[in-house]
Structure 1
Amino acid sequence: MRRFASCLLLTLCIQLALVALSAAQSIDGLVTFGDSLSDMGNRSVETKKPGIKFRENWVKILADPGLLNVPDFKPSGMSYYYGGTNYAVGGATTEVTAAMNKDRNRGQHLTQQISKRYLNPTFNKDGVKKNALHVIVIGTNDLMLASIGIDQLATQWAKLDTVGVAVAKSTESQIQALASAGVRRVMWGDLFDVAQAPSVVNRAKPFGASVSATYLAAITRAVNAHNTEMDAAIARLQKANPGLTITKLDLHSRFADVAKDPSKYGFTEVTKGANDDKHLFSADGLHPTTQAHKMLAQYAYEVLTKSKPVAQQGAQ
């Protein structure tokens, strides 16, 4: 009986492993949108210099052999088509904050990335990759820029959470645009609590202890408001698009867990920015180190292989 049970358990483990492998292998390509977390060097390719080295970030690692194995994953370009499928641009926001700040980032917001470039056959000569995994992580820059707006400063950020909600809805509209174009699989990353990032904590110190605490608490509320609205948006999108599968990448929970127990993930501490792999954040106190990017790529891969394409089961 014990031998039978052991064989049964082994068979079950093999089947689960095969299902996970199949889920990853069914992804035909990788298309990414967002900000500096995912940008591989779209600004660099604008120079048109030969031999450009692309940034080794989490989406690049996710595309590498051993994980999704997506060949020739590279930047898309901005003013001209470079030929890649990474549309993310450092400093990008959604259209919401681009409008508030008169588009300081020169037209690189999410709507430009998706609707004006990727879904535009005049720019994207290779067309929409309907069976590829489309990854979107955006919103942190929105909250950072909005928080220094005159209206937010005047009210001590009392309405910053409304920006978080608007950002989630703006992203939702772009995912709907992807779905309408036939895209079948999206991974949408929520926002980690950027109020815990060393650079943001330091940025708040000149306000004084009381105002600083108010500022950081407002950012946390805005992040939570975004993530709550994002969950609701995913439900709406799934209902409206039976052929679309949306996988949530819970960056908020993962970063919180790293902050709680850094050693569990191979980090020394996360309260100071340092450009080495013992820290979660780089020298600027916000962007992940190489080791942290590897952690995020592995986490995303695990989420993908464990996710069940519920929406696709009802698709015709």
Structure 2
Amino acid sequence: MRRLSALLALAFCFQLALAETCTAQAIDGLVTFGDSLSDMGNRSVETRKPDIKFRENWVKVLAGPGLLNVPDFKPSGMSYYYGGTNYAVGGATTEATAAMNKDRNRGQHLTQQVSKRYLNPAFNKDGVKKNALHVIVIGTNDLMLASIGLDQIATKWAKLDAVGVAVAKSTESQIQALAGAGVRHVMWGDLFDVAQAPSVAMRAKPFGVEVSGVYLAAITRAVQAHNTEMDAAIARLQKANPGLTLTKLDLHARFADVAKDPAKYGFVEVTKGANDDKHLFSADGLHPTTQAHKMLAQYAYEVLMKPVAQSAQ
């Protein structure tokens, strides 16, 4: 009996290892879109300076050895093609709120990244990588921009959740564009509760206790509205595109779990920002620390492998 149990356990482990190997082989490359969370330095590329050092963020870690093993993963460029597949640009939004953005960011929204650059052969000289994993995480800047609009402030952010819905639908349209171009693998990250970020809490303080509470609650509702619409969009996209594998990266759940039990992930502080490995948020109070980026990369890889591992049981 012991020998049989050992053989079954060995066979199961082999199945899991084989499943992960097959998934890794099926995914050939990494293409990313989004904002500063994923941007490795597309603005730096614009300077055309030699020896540019790119940021070691979560998608760079995901592309690295031991995870997806994508060699020479680098920025795509913005006004000219730099040769990479990271199209994310700091400050970017979706097209839903692009008109609200600063001049330097208006031409960097998600539709620009996906349809005007990546899917445009006049820009992307290497063509669409149909078997690569395409990662999209965007929407935080949309909500932050919309929340400081006079119309939102005047109504005490009563309609901010509608912005969340519009952002999800705008992202959906770009994933459909990718699917239409033959892309087979997409990972779409939802929004974490931005109201919990230290910098957003600080932004609300000048409003006073009562109004700041209303503001933060509205941000949370808008995030929830986005994520709910995103779930519906995923169902629509999968129904419309049988050949598309669309994986949800539940950043909302992961950040909530980290906030609930920081020590579980090696963090000590989640309500303040600092540039060390004990903090979830960096000194700016919004972006992840180096350690948090590593956590996100590992989480994304685990999520990517999970469905295959489950089917092997």
TM-score normalised by length of structure 1: 0.96
Following the alignment from structure 2 to structure 1, what is the Cα–Cα distance between the partners of residues 130 and 10? 36
1:150 aligned partner, one-letter code:
L
State the Cα RMSD in Å. 1.4
1:128 aligned partner, one-letter code:
V
The equivalent residue for 2:177 is: 177
1:84 aligned partner, one-letter code:
G
Tell whether the 8 Å contact from 2:199 to 2:286 is kept in structure 1 after alignment. yes
- TM-superposition CA deviations, 1:258-304 (whole Å, max 9, x none): 00111110111100011111100000000001111000000001111
Deviation at 1:103, TM superposition (A): 5.5
Following the alignment from structure 2 to structure 1, what is the Cα–Cα distance between the partners of residues 104 and 126? 29
Following the alignment from structure 2 to structure 1, what is the Cα–Cα distance between the partners of residues 10 and 65? 27
- TM-superposition CA deviations, 1:142-171 (whole Å, max 9, x none): 000000001100000001000000000000
The equivalent residue for 1:203 is: 203
The equivalent residue for 1:54 is: 54
Following the alignment from structure 1 to structure 2, what is the Cα–Cα distance between the partners of residues 100 and 92? 11
Tell whether the 8 Å contact from 2:20 to 2:309 is kept in structure 1 after alignment. no
The equivalent residue for 1:157 is: 157
The equivalent residue for 1:116 is: 116
Deviation at 1:23, TM superposition (A): 1.1
Tell whether the 8 Å contact from 2:92 to 2:106 is kept in structure 1 after alignment. no
2:90 aligned partner, one-letter code:
G
Following the alignment from structure 1 to structure 2, what is the Cα–Cα distance between the partners of residues 80 and 134? 21
2:282 corresponds to 1:244 = no
Following the alignment from structure 2 to structure 1, what is the Cα–Cα distance between the partners of residues 79 and 307? 36
Following the alignment from structure 2 to structure 1, what is the Cα–Cα distance between the partners of residues 243 and 45? 35
Following the alignment from structure 1 to structure 2, what is the Cα–Cα distance between the partners of residues 24 and 187? 14
Following the alignment from structure 1 to structure 2, what is the Cα–Cα distance between the partners of residues 94 and 257? 27
- TM-superposition CA deviations, 1:176-210 (whole Å, max 9, x none): 00000110110000000010000000110111111
Following the alignment from structure 1 to structure 2, what is the Cα–Cα distance between the partners of residues 121 and 253? 37
The equivalent residue for 2:145 is: 145
Equivalent residue of 2:269, what SS?
Answer: coil
The equivalent residue for 1:267 is: 267
Count of residue pairs the alignment pairs up: 310
Deviation at 1:24, TM superposition (A): 2.1
The equivalent residue for 1:314 is: none
The equivalent residue for 1:313 is: none
Structure 2 portions without partners, runs of 5+: none
Following the alignment from structure 1 to structure 2, what is the Cα–Cα distance between the partners of residues 20 and 257? 25
2:21 aligned partner, one-letter code:
L
The equivalent residue for 2:37 is: 37
1:50 aligned partner, one-letter code:
P
Deviation at 1:6, TM superposition (A): 2.4
Deviation at 1:78, TM superposition (A): 0.2
Following the alignment from structure 1 to structure 2, what is the Cα–Cα distance between the partners of residues 108 and 30? 20
Tell whether the 8 Å contact from 1:281 to 1:288 is kept in structure 2 after alignment. yes
Following the alignment from structure 2 to structure 1, what is the Cα–Cα distance between the partners of residues 102 and 3? 69
Structure 1 residues 45 and 304: alpha-carbon distance in aligned structure 2, compared to 1, 3 A threshold? same
2:86 aligned partner, one-letter code:
N
Equivalent residue of 1:83, what SS?
Answer: coil
Deviation at 1:3, TM superposition (A): 2.2
Deviation at 1:16, TM superposition (A): 1.4
TM-score normalised by length of structure 2: 0.97
Equivalent residue of 2:186, what SS?
Answer: strand
The equivalent residue for 1:81 is: 81
Equivalent residue of 2:122, what SS?
Answer: coil
Following the alignment from structure 1 to structure 2, what is the Cα–Cα distance between the partners of residues 275 and 24? 33
Equivalent residue of 1:270, what SS?
Answer: strand
Following the alignment from structure 2 to structure 1, what is the Cα–Cα distance between the partners of residues 102 and 290? 33
Tell whether the 8 Å contact from 1:98 to 1:104 is kept in structure 2 after alignment. no
2:110 aligned partner, one-letter code:
L
Return 186-195 or 94-103, whichever deviates more.
Answer: 94-103
The equivalent residue for 1:90 is: 90
Following the alignment from structure 2 to structure 1, what is the Cα–Cα distance between the partners of residues 194 and 255? 10
Deviation at 1:229, TM superposition (A): 0.3
The equivalent residue for 2:276 is: 276
Structure 1 runs (4+) deviating above 2 angstroms are 99-104, 307-310
Following the alignment from structure 1 to structure 2, what is the Cα–Cα distance between the partners of residues 104 and 47? 14
Structure 1 portions without partners, runs of 5+: 311-316
